[in-house]
């Protein structure tokens, strides 16, 4: 139990974004030095979905490895799949810091990172180089979003650029229209706005599976509309859910939360709504369409609960911050 002590005494004292970069460096260094190869083998249950083979149901949600710089390392520490990004067609630095906050009493995070990333062209080149090495890698999902400087009315063409550049190196593509940190982005979840975006991504996906990622703040009726659109367009599936703008039922004092400002909330406070969205999706999608359930997952038992409720795969992120580098192994282990 070294990590909880390290987190309490050291990492929790650092700015969260600084701690993230330090953790990313440590994971990559451990892989480069082959220290991750010393980890004992764990037994996992293979999952077949979207024509892909996953060494376990549990993967890493988008937001941790935004630029595809630690894929091998993340696979070695236990994630069956890693969703990189969100990647935008145009490189962008994201919102001003501070933009990442811990709610330690809730084991939650608030982020307003703003899709900081190197851009689709650079990330595509990085993935191409990585693929050429023939290394053993986790399944790679590529999460794409709208560039901040692009007007909402031009979103379709912007997504088209990203999809065309990244599809050759992705195992699947996730269309992100649900982050609360890009102005106007969530309006694209309206089915009339969403349809042309998904159509153009499918056209550029080279036959790779395409999924759409939705917000937990949608009404059940809106979730059903997205599910119906997914059936109409024959999407591979839906990822539910992204972070929430809600601040309900938090243990952290309201004044502290207010002082952190705007952004998406992730972690255990999303658990209940994420499962609700999962159940609505499963009821309204075709049996062959995949659901990747995200939001508040911390344990193997919670992963199993999601699978029993109809998910095909499960993702997490915030638990990585609070439980450390061996977290994925404990969650994916049979």
CA angle 281, 289, 140 (to 5 degrees): 105
The whole-angstrom separation of Cα 95 and Cα 147 is 13
Catalytic residue among 179, 266, 274, 293: 179
293 is catalytic: no
Residue that the structure tokens 């609360």 belong to: 180
φ, ψ (nearest 5 deg) of residue 177? -125, 25
Q: Which two tokens stand for residue 186?
A: 């969530």
Residues known to be catalytic:
179
């Amino acid at each position: 139990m070294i990590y909880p002590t390290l987190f309490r005494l050291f990492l929790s004292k650092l700015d969260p974004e600084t701690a993230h970069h330090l953790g990313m460096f440590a994971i990559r260094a451990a892989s480069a030095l082959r220290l991750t190869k010393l980890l004992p083998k764990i037994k996992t249950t293979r999952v077949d979905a979207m024509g892909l083979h996953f060494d376990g149901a549990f993967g890493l949600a988008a937001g941790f490895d935004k630029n595809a710089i630690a894929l091998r390392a993340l696979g070695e520490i236990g994630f069956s799949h890693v969703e990189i990004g969100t990647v935008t067609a145009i490189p962008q630095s994201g919102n001003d810091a501070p933009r990442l906050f811990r709610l330690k009493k809730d084991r939650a995070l608030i982020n307003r990172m703003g899709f900081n990333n190197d851009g689709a062209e650079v990330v595509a080149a990085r993935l191409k180089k990585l693929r050429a090495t023939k290394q053993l890698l986790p399944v790679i999902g590529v999460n794409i979003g709208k560039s901040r400087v692009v007007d909402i009315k031009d979103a379709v063409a912007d997504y088209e650029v990203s999809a065309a550049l990244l599809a050759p190196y992705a195992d699947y593509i996730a269309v992100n229209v649900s982050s609360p940190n890009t102005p106007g982005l969530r309006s694209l979840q309206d089915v009339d706005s969403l349809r042309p975006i998904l159509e153009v991504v499918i056209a550029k996906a080279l036959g790779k599976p395409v999924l759409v990622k939705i917000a937990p703040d949608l009404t059940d009726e809106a979730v059903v509309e997205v599910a119906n659109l997914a059936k109409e367009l024959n999407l591979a599936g839906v990822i539910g859910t992204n972070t929430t703008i809600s601040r309900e039922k938090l243990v952290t004092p309201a004044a502290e939360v207010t002082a952190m400002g705007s952004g998406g909330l992730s972690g255990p406070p999303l658990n209940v709504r994420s499962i609700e969205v999962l159940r609505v999706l499963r009821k309204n999608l075709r049996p062959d369409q995949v659901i990747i359930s995200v939001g508040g997952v911390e344990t193997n038992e919670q992963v199993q609960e999601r699978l029993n409720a109809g998910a095909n795969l499960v993702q997490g992120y915030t638990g990585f911050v609070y439980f450390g580098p061996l977290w994925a192994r404990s969650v994916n282990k049979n």
